[in-house]
Structure 1
Amino acid sequence: MALLRQYWKHAQWNYLRKFSASQIPEMPACNHEPCPYKGESYDTVKATTTLHTAPCQVPFYKKPLLIHEGFGQWLWDHEGKRYLDMFAGVATVSVGHSHPKIISAVLQQMNRLGHTTPIYMQPRLQEYVKKLVSKMPGDLSVVYLVNSGSEATELAFLMARLYTGAHEIVSLKNCYHGGSHTAAASTALSTWRYPVNSPSGHIHVTNPDVYHGPWGGSRCRDSPIAPGNRKCQCTGGTCFASDKYFEQIKDVFKFSLPNNGRVAAFIAESIQGVGGTIQFPRSYLSRVYEFIRYYGGVCIADEVQTGFGRTGEYYWGFQGHGVEPDIVTMGKGIGNGFPMGAVVTRPAIANTLKQALHFNTFGGNPIACSVGSAVLDIIEEEQLQENAFHVGTHLLERLGALQLYHPTVIGDVRGKGLMIGVELVCNPETREPLPPSQMIELFEEIKDMGVLVGKGGLHANVLRIKPPLCVTKADADFTVEVINKAIQNLKHRYSYNEESVYCNGV
């Protein structure tokens, strides 16, 4: 039996390391036939976009894609070319493009009632909040519906400050919590910050990054893949990295806060998304939560990208850290692309908003509630959380095997479920990021072979893989094949080899 298990493990590892010899990998089949594109010409759409949309919203790619149709995990451009969507509109399309059940829910509700506000009761709101609360642990039982993750962050901060009577919001460096004024103040990525005065009351503490930070190793994070070539300094049942990063936040309280040390809130993503799919050391969040509460603050879990089953093993990312937050913010996947967000909290915290009038015109819109309700049903009926776990683990293991083939380019593979990051470097020892010119070339080539991924991290050198939860193992294999070919071509162009590294091309 032991010999059989060893044989099976060896065969499985050989499969994970197996890559196609073909020049361009074969895309998995799709039985959906898109409609022909009959809109304005590509040049007209591009010119209108350039002239009349905000110039800060720069499209991906040298020749931006004109996306015409979507179905499941697939997208088609105006010329009918098919793409595997492994970014899902920035981790937003949770159950698949144009899902029939969502289309049906929207049409039925639009035929009955398109809009009313919370000044009236309506059944779709009641149905939806009951379903959403049933997914929450403990006393997280009050829902305030908004229109985006940024709005949810703003509202969560307001609630925290009213409830605690304190002002300071503590967040991690490298985090992203939204683009609105106050949400952006908590964000700690220089690439997302404008040279204007930010609202007061925001403190950024050391990010517990076990790959880039001073502490961390192979057993420090909850991922099937170890962080690069870093050795773990953990001993016994304690995490050395968690201890050291926790000391950093204690140090901030000691020197940067008033004598009473009171704060309003601590906010953290369960896995940092925009920051490059950064995972924290085991036990870190649970220790920080306890510490924050000792100083009178509440704990906010940002589930905008990690919620609704994306991490696979748990419905909410915070459950993987063994914590129960006081406030949870949601967005993106909550509506499968429909503009929705939510704040879920305890009754005592929610009651603080009664001190004045607070109103959201579109929050709880009956169409939005119908969409949100359909999303919850689909995740359960189609077992998409389980699929995220199985396909995500398979994809992570295959990417980990790919790292062994390209150790001078792939510095780290990390993530949980279908929340995955692949960090590209030009020196695995110093972890220096792949130069922007090379990153752009590789990014373009992945697209040209039919896969759409995102970019993240401070230097935009992390491939962000966050597809709809309906993707298959065949889709995962195709994605790995495409990334492999793109890296092979990059190494050939820049004479990379496994004995030397080249950080040129900046």
Structure 2
Amino acid sequence: MPALIEPTGLPRPDVSPALAAEWAAEFFAVDVTAVKELGSQQDRNFLLTTAAGHRRLLKISNPEFSRTEIEAQNAAMQRLTGAGFSTPLPLESVAGQFVELPVLDGREHCLRLLTFVEGTPVIDRKYLSPSLRSDLGSWLGRTSRALAGFQHPGLSRSLQWDLRAGEEVVTALVSFVRSSWKRELLVATLKRVTAALGPLKDQLPVQAVHGDMTDDNVVYALTAQGIPELAGIIDFSDAMYSWRVGELAVACASLFHHELSPGSSGNPLTVLPMIRAFHEQAPLSDAEIQALWPLIVLRGAVLAVSGEHQTAIDAGNDYASSALDREWAMFEIPARYDWNAAEAAIRQTLDVPGTGRHTLPQPAWSPLLPGLGTPAAVDFGWDSEDFDNGSWLNGATEEERILTGAAAGGSPAVTRFGEARLTRATAHSTGEPANVALGVEVHAPQPLAVHAPFAGTVTVSGTPNGTLRLEGGDFAVVLSGAVLDPSVSSGQAVQSGQRIGRSGPDGLWIWLLTQGTYPTAGVPPRFVRASEFPGYAATHLDPAQVLSGTRAEAPPSSITGTDSLLERRNRSFAALQAHYYDAPPRIERGWKEHLIDTSGRHYLDMVNNVTALGHGHPAVAEAAAKQWRLLNTNSRFHYQAVAELSERLLAQVPDSLDTVLLVNSGSEAVELALRLGKAFTGREDVLCVQESYHGWSLGADAVSTSVSDNPRAAQTRPGWVHAADAPNAYRGTHRGEGAGAAYARDAVALLQELHDAGTPVGTYIAEPRNGNAGSIGTPPGYLDTVYAAVRAQGGVCISDEVQMGYGRLGRYFWGFEEHGVVPDIITMAKAMGNGHPLGAVITRREIAEALSSQGSFFSSGGGSTLSSRIGVTVLDVISKEQLQENAGAVGQVLAEGFHSLMDQHALVGAVHGMGLYQGVEFVRSRETLEPAGEETLAVCDRMRELGVIVLPTGDRQNILKVKPPLCFTAESARFFLETLDQVLTDRW
């Protein structure tokens, strides 16, 4: 047993803060004004503040560590500093020494004063982004390269943290673990580690290592945008010679406790970005790749037993006792994971091939279920036609219904391997669902005989319908729910084709594995996450191969085909038509306020104001299908739907507006409205509002001033377009109470200026709330004054309701109603067709007829039978399902939640909007209102990881755009608020 893991252990030196200050003054002539003890398991560390305002680290090492060892640590710090890293550096004592040796309790202790590396330990961040994990891996690789040729006699040490002695440490200290089940798991796992590492140890390179470059010993600093950047490496107490790959294993183990919450099992693959980045700096050998996961597990085991040991012999060590839970997580999460799947995932990440399913020969197999016949097809995937109206959310109940229905004709029903089941995914979840099948499920009206597909040995566990396992050659078949045949006993050798059992009453689960994937008694998981499936697929094969005796096709490509599909899109689809996110999920299905990707994950949709009723609304689907079967043609033909839709629209507006024109989109509606205004007034000049968006077409773009949509808006604006200041009472020219009147005076003055210059405004266009700016409210006293001034000069006023209309504001059906005004022209789209391209212009007949001298107006799809029928249906549903009322009620839940978050998080500067069109504005300072654009983008990216689609908006891109479908529920609102709170708390 190494000396450093004797049962007496290594209690910390008995040094008080007062004694630390005395030694600092005596040995280093430091005038200490403040002392703070920092955590350590075996040493004593004190942060000193000097009279000169400097921060220094006083380190008293455990007396078991020799001066040579301490000098080696100093040399390692200096070497990494020379390689460009920020590390502590030793300072000379009064006697000109870097290490002093005061005597305490009759023993010399190495004493050092070190520079203090400013920063926050990464361990303090609950969430570690993929980029931060990647940066950690890159630093690990770079330090490994820098230390590769470093030699010092003090690095030849006997430490319990040296993974070369890890198995011995666990064996020596496991008895200190108080929980019996934990001890049993540690002992069983240690046997697996020994078996895995035994053939590899002599192939693992040994060099100088930091030894403990974990989240606890790497510090970061925040950029001005709140993004963490690695700043330095601290605590070289474990510098030694050891396996190079052990440095990576130690760091990987430290990641598993992050993001854990009650009931969470953690995601073992969180380490992949770190491993990839390390490999890019210091390429791993094949032996190191094979050893990495067992070493990660071993590191966790060493931490678990050492923590229990340390608290037993040093009961007052709060640092050690507080770490017990996270140290157990560092062991248990990787230990319980499939080690073969982990290695396969690592190899795929590094693009280093290894052994697995594709390298094994395909034998000739006998059918596992000879009586299977032609089974009924069962589809639980994202595109399944067996699902409708969110039925998959019933989970196992829906699975049973479909399986029973498929087998109703007398044929067995068989599920698909590698399929991401919708029934195993849920809404309102921040985690990736475990829903990809690692086996197949067989349900039959009558019991099916089970035959051995190859020669091997049968074992069985559990009764009466237990787990049957057949192992032979390179493969194993595992069946859950099988009954062993009376002619066969557990442990018996059987021949290919021999009957070995039958299916039980609840059906069979069947896995096909490469041999040795699990211990004999191990049962594979039924479902794994989509991100894990590629790793599992290296050792888990499609059982359809043994059902039929022939090789099966690969699992559904939708699990892994997102990247290739994006490449196809980028090759053929113009880049101008951008996509959200750098690595977007592949969204192929939706239901209500949820978007669903091909892995079955449900995302809360906070941005689709186009799909006002929600995704997949059955009434719209049925109306569209019925009309398609009857007729679809343009509005120059005579049919009922176009008249019905026009009448329904007029019923929603003031009586003075009596004429409807139907178009395809909001851009087309604005374009038409501008032409109507010009034709009616005979004037070309238009007044619009800064920071607004009205569309992409030539005229609509001309009056769009938002630089987030057109960065060159000011330069490309034609001379007939004039822009008034955006009436933003929060951050604009005029703020607070009275801002509306002040902005109105400015706009009226501009109107008069244009009139006096001989270019009077014919048309004024504005949203009643500035939508793309984040639903910024138009302050009271503005819109009515401007409308009156425009009309006094003979102009007309357009209210662009493309985003604000159709009940979205809750309290009002149209945004202009909030201001007590009646526009001359209303434009609308988006919500009108619930995603079908449909828009409208509503005006007075005299204004519409002014355009007649330029020819008749026509829009092929705008007033078609299909578009009109869908438009009527949307209005019906809004009324029947009381969606306007819902927008008001749920919008209030959101507004109250946003204001509560504003009280808790300084980043939230303001809350805009009402109903289900709101904006949460992020600022770096509530005094200066500096926009937090980068932070907003980071929040949106993190929200997507947690299952919420929300995007930035506004010219400064610092506002969360909150405009979900009108069916949005209070439950969804609370989930969104809780998730946003989590992100603002844990950061990004």
Could you state the TM-score of these two structures normalised by the residue count of structure 2?
0.43
1:187-207 Cα shifts (integer Å, max 9, x gaps): 111232365744441110011
For residues 49 and 24 of structure 1, what CA distance do their matches in structure 2 show?
40
> What does residue 415 of structure 2 align with?
none
Q: Displaced runs of 4+ in structure 1, greater than 6 A? A: none
For residues 406 and 316 of structure 1, what CA distance do their matches in structure 2 show?
33
Moved more, 374-383 or 246-255: 246-255
Verify the 8 A CA contact 2:688 2:724 in the aligned structure 1: yes
> What does residue 832 of structure 2 align with?
334
Given residue 664 of structure 2, which amino acid in structure 1 is its aligned partner?
N
Q: Superposed, which structure 2 residues align to 1:246-257 within 5 Å?
A: 246-257=744-755
> What does residue 564 of structure 2 align with?
44
| Structure label with greater radius of gyration | 2
1:200-235 Cα shifts (integer Å, max 9, x gaps): 411100111011113232xxxxxxxxxxxxxx4xxx
> What does residue 69 of structure 1 align with?
589
CA RMSD of aligned residues (A): 2.1
For residues 24 and 184 of structure 1, what CA distance do their matches in structure 2 show?
51
Structure 2 residue 650 is matched with structure 1 residue 133: yes
How far is 1:449 from its partner? Answer: 1.2
Moved more, 299-308 or 266-275: 266-275
> What does residue 169 of structure 1 align with?
686
Given residue 113 of structure 1, which amino acid in structure 2 is its aligned partner?
L
Structure 2 residue 888 is matched with structure 1 residue 392: no
For residues 697 and 648 of structure 2, what CA distance do their matches in structure 1 show?
29
Verify the 8 A CA contact 1:182 1:199 in the aligned structure 2: no
> What does residue 248 of structure 2 align with?
none
> What does residue 142 of structure 1 align with?
659
Verify the 8 A CA contact 1:171 1:205 in the aligned structure 2: yes
For residues 711 and 938 of structure 2, what CA distance do their matches in structure 1 show?
28
How far is 1:308 from its partner? Answer: 0.6
How far is 1:25 from its partner? Answer: 12
Verify the 8 A CA contact 2:741 2:780 in the aligned structure 1: no
Aligned residue for 2:919, secondary structure, equals: strand
> What does residue 724 of structure 2 align with?
205
Aligned residue for 2:775, secondary structure, equals: coil
1:237-276 Cα shifts (integer Å, max 9, x gaps): xxx2122111111221233444456321111111111122
Verify the 8 A CA contact 1:23 1:485 in the aligned structure 2: no
Structure 2 residue 774 is matched with structure 1 residue 276: yes
Aligned residue for 2:888, secondary structure, equals: helix
Distance 1:397 1:25, change over 3 A: farther
Aligned residue for 1:433, secondary structure, equals: coil
How far is 1:138 from its partner? Answer: 1.9
Distance 1:463 1:194, change over 3 A: closer
For residues 815 and 933 of structure 2, what CA distance do their matches in structure 1 show?
32
> What does residue 99 of structure 1 align with?
617
Q: 1:301 aligns with which of 780, 799, 805?
A: 799
For residues 243 and 435 of structure 1, what CA distance do their matches in structure 2 show?
30
Moved more, 249-258 or 379-388: 249-258
For residues 865 and 825 of structure 2, what CA distance do their matches in structure 1 show?
24
For residues 803 and 969 of structure 2, what CA distance do their matches in structure 1 show?
20
Verify the 8 A CA contact 1:25 1:478 in the aligned structure 2: no
For residues 263 and 662 of structure 2, what CA distance do their matches in structure 1 show?
43
Distance 1:404 1:22, change over 3 A: farther
Aligned residue for 2:642, secondary structure, equals: helix
For residues 776 and 733 of structure 2, what CA distance do their matches in structure 1 show?
14
Verify the 8 A CA contact 1:25 1:482 in the aligned structure 2: no
Verify the 8 A CA contact 1:454 1:464 in the aligned structure 2: yes
Aligned residue for 1:267, secondary structure, equals: strand
Distance 1:344 1:36, change over 3 A: farther
1:117-163 Cα shifts (integer Å, max 9, x gaps): 23221211111111111111122121111111000000000000000
Given residue 365 of structure 1, which amino acid in structure 2 is its aligned partner?
S
Distance 1:476 1:295, change over 3 A: same
1:448-502 Cα shifts (integer Å, max 9, x gaps): 1111112211121100010111111111111111111111122xx6xxxxxxxxx
> What does residue 352 of structure 2 align with?
none
> What does residue 33 of structure 1 align with?
392
Given residue 108 of structure 1, which amino acid in structure 2 is its aligned partner?
K
Aligned residue for 1:432, secondary structure, equals: coil
For residues 923 and 263 of structure 2, what CA distance do their matches in structure 1 show?
24
For residues 215 and 310 of structure 1, what CA distance do their matches in structure 2 show?
27
Could you state the TM-score of these two structures normalised by the residue count of structure 1?
0.83
For residues 143 and 392 of structure 1, what CA distance do their matches in structure 2 show?
30
Given residue 33 of structure 1, which amino acid in structure 2 is its aligned partner?
W
Aligned residue for 2:924, secondary structure, equals: strand
For residues 933 and 824 of structure 2, what CA distance do their matches in structure 1 show?
41
Given residue 359 of structure 1, which amino acid in structure 2 is its aligned partner?
F
Given residue 384 of structure 1, which amino acid in structure 2 is its aligned partner?
L
Aligned residue for 1:262, secondary structure, equals: coil
> What does residue 227 of structure 1 align with?
none
> What does residue 473 of structure 1 align with?
970
> What does residue 78 of structure 1 align with?
598
Verify the 8 A CA contact 2:727 2:778 in the aligned structure 1: yes
Q: 1:158 aligns with which of 657, 661, 675?
A: 675
Structure 2 residue 607 is matched with structure 1 residue 87: yes
Verify the 8 A CA contact 1:242 1:284 in the aligned structure 2: yes
Given residue 452 of structure 1, which amino acid in structure 2 is its aligned partner?
I
Q: Which structure 2 residue ranges, 5 or more long, are not aligned?
A: 1-258, 265-388, 394-419, 423-555
> What does residue 7 of structure 1 align with?
none
Given residue 103 of structure 1, which amino acid in structure 2 is its aligned partner?
A
Aligned residue for 1:191, secondary structure, equals: coil
For residues 39 and 132 of structure 1, what CA distance do their matches in structure 2 show?
45
For residues 641 and 600 of structure 2, what CA distance do their matches in structure 1 show?
37
For residues 574 and 262 of structure 2, what CA distance do their matches in structure 1 show?
36
Verify the 8 A CA contact 2:728 2:777 in the aligned structure 1: yes
Verify the 8 A CA contact 1:181 1:198 in the aligned structure 2: no
Aligned residue for 1:349, secondary structure, equals: helix
Distance 1:377 1:341, change over 3 A: same
For residues 851 and 675 of structure 2, what CA distance do their matches in structure 1 show?
8
Given residue 393 of structure 1, which amino acid in structure 2 is its aligned partner?
Q
Moved more, 172-181 or 60-69: 60-69
Percent same amino acid at aligned positions?
35
> What does residue 456 of structure 1 align with?
953
Count residues in correspondence. 442
Verify the 8 A CA contact 1:32 1:71 in the aligned structure 2: no
Verify the 8 A CA contact 2:933 2:957 in the aligned structure 1: no
How far is 1:87 from its partner? Answer: 1.1
Q: 1:375 aligns with which of 874, 888, 891?
A: 874
Q: Which structure 1 residue ranges, 5 or more long, are not aligned?
A: 1-20, 218-231, 233-239, 494-506
For residues 31 and 155 of structure 1, what CA distance do their matches in structure 2 show?
39
For residues 249 and 182 of structure 1, what CA distance do their matches in structure 2 show?
21
Verify the 8 A CA contact 2:708 2:954 in the aligned structure 1: no
Verify the 8 A CA contact 1:253 1:261 in the aligned structure 2: no
1:11-68 Cα shifts (integer Å, max 9, x gaps): xxxxxxxxxx995999xxx954289696762122101111111212222223112101
Verify the 8 A CA contact 2:744 2:783 in the aligned structure 1: no
Distance 1:369 1:158, change over 3 A: same
Structure 2 residue 640 is matched with structure 1 residue 123: yes
Moved more, 255-264 or 375-384: 255-264
Q: Superposed, which structure 2 residues align to 1:360-439 within 5 Å?
A: 360-407=859-906, 409-436=907-934, 438-439=935-936
Distance 1:350 1:64, change over 3 A: same
1:345-366 Cα shifts (integer Å, max 9, x gaps): 0010011121122322222011
Moved more, 309-318 or 250-259: 250-259
